[in-house]
């Protein structure tokens, strides 16, 4: 259980090109026409960071219903095998689940919002969490698991360093009620000094061990494996904003959303299909 607006031009892109947005009060601009090949990044190794749900795959009603298609898997592997390109999947899913659903070689896999990760060599790294946090997550699971099991459209997911309450399939009233109770229970632990934080996603609210996030994972992988690389981060959710903000002025940040929203990302693509179009361009040097 719980272990302790408008298109940019096609000029050559460099790190300095992306010092554009100073806060999350700005809307991103379309990214689909901003590169036309890997040649847009002369002299730079590239480290591509990708969220999973909503970025590499479409959001599903149940997290267990999501898998990567063969074609998309082949695109990721081709990108990871391109000279000068590193690829990492950065997700809130637990590491083992993420690897199972993608099953592509030569990638970095980051699970649980940065609390665990695996390199292409297969070596797994996991960070332990504070005992009080582990106990709080276990207590929250015990408190809500039986009730949510009896509720239509509500799923409580144990994510080791987090507890995710999914309500995408529930009625609006049921979702509002159980979410309110969940947040109240989390707040009680926070008021007692337990280092829990709340994350909000698309039809999900999480109680998570504080202290690490996706931005930390990105910074760690860059510094350890490719300190000179140009980072490109694709993500669709609020949990990706920490990475967007961390890479401001030093990388390319792309929100995946049908309708752009205020964000720390500088650019946007509409959906996973558009993401793969960009990834395929990065595979080719000409």
241: its two tokens: 């904003």
Q: So what's the pLDDT on residue 33?
A: 55
Residue 87's DSSP bridge partners are 48
Is residue 221 within a helix (H) or strand (E), and if so which, with residue range?
Answer: helix 214-225
How far apart are the C-alpha atoms of 149 and 155, rounded to whole Å? 7
Cβ of 197: how many Cβ atoms within 10 Å? 16
How far apart are the C-alpha atoms of 205 and 139, rounded to whole Å? 17
Catalytic-role residue among 11, 51, 96, 240:
51
Q: So what's the pLDDT on residue 70?
A: 94
How far apart are the C-alpha atoms of 34 and 232, rounded to whole Å? 13
How far apart are the C-alpha atoms of 61 and 57, rounded to whole Å? 12
Phi first, then psi, for residue 113 (nearest 5°) are 60, 30
Helix/strand/coil for 19? coil
Q: So what's the pLDDT on residue 126?
A: 92
Q: So what's the pLDDT on residue 26?
A: 81
Segment 102-112, tens digit of pLDDT: 999 999 999 99
Known catalytic membership, residue 96: no
Q: Look up residue 43 and give its DSSP letter.
A: T
Q: So what's the pLDDT on residue 147?
A: 85
Q: Which of 207, 179, 181 is nearest to 113 (CA)?
A: 207
User: Low-confidence residues of the chain, pLDDT below 50?
Assistant: 1-22, 37, 286
Q: So what's the pLDDT on residue 36?
A: 54
Query: How far does Cα 258 stand from its chain's mean position?
Result: 17
H-type alpha helices, the chain: 70-80, 95-102, 131-149, 172-191, 214-225, 241-246, 272-283
How far apart are the C-alpha atoms of 234 and 275, rounded to whole Å? 8
Q: So what's the pLDDT on residue 164?
A: 93
How far apart are the C-alpha atoms of 272 and 37, rounded to whole Å? 18
Segment 180-235, tens digit of pLDDT: 999 999 999 999 999 999 998 888 999 999 999 999 999 999 999 999 999 999 99
Q: So what's the pLDDT on residue 6?
A: 28
169: its two tokens: 């399939």
């Amino acid at each position: 259980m719980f272990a302790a607006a408008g298109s940019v031009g096609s000029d050559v892109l460099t790190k300095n090109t992306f010092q554009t947005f100073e806060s999350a009060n700005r809307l991103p601009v379309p990214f689909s026409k901003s590169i036309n090949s890997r040649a847009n990044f002369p002299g730079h190794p590239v480290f591509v960071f990708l969220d999973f749900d909503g970025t590499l795959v479409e959001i599903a009603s149940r997290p267990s219903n999501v898998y990567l298609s063969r074609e998309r898997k082949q695109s990721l592997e081709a990108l990871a095998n391109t000279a000068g390109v590193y690829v990492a999947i950065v997700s809130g899913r637990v590491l083992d689940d993420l690897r199972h659903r993608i099953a592509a070689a030569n990638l970095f896999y980051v699970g649980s919002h940065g609390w665990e990760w695996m390199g292409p060599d297969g070596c797994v790294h996991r960070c332990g969490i504070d005992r009080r946090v582990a106990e709080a997550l276990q207590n929250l699971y015990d408190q809500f698991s039986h009730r949510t099991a009896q509720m239509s459209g509500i799923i409580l997911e144990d994510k080791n360093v987090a507890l995710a309450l999914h309500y995408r399939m529930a009625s609006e009233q049921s979702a509002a009620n159980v979410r309110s109770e969940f947040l109240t229970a989390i707040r009680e632990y926070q008021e007692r000094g337990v280092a829990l934080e709340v994350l909000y996603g698309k039809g999900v609210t999480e109680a998570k061990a504080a202290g690490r996030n996706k931005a930390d994972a990105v910074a760690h992988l860059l510094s350890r494996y490719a300190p000179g690389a140009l980072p490109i981060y694709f993500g669709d959710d609020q949990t990706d904003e920490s990475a967007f903000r961390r890479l401001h002025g030093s990388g390319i940040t792309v929100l995946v959303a049908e309708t752009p929203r205020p964000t720390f990302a500088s650019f946007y693509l509409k959906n996973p299909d558009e993401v793969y179009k960009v990834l395929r361009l990065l595979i080719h040097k000409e």
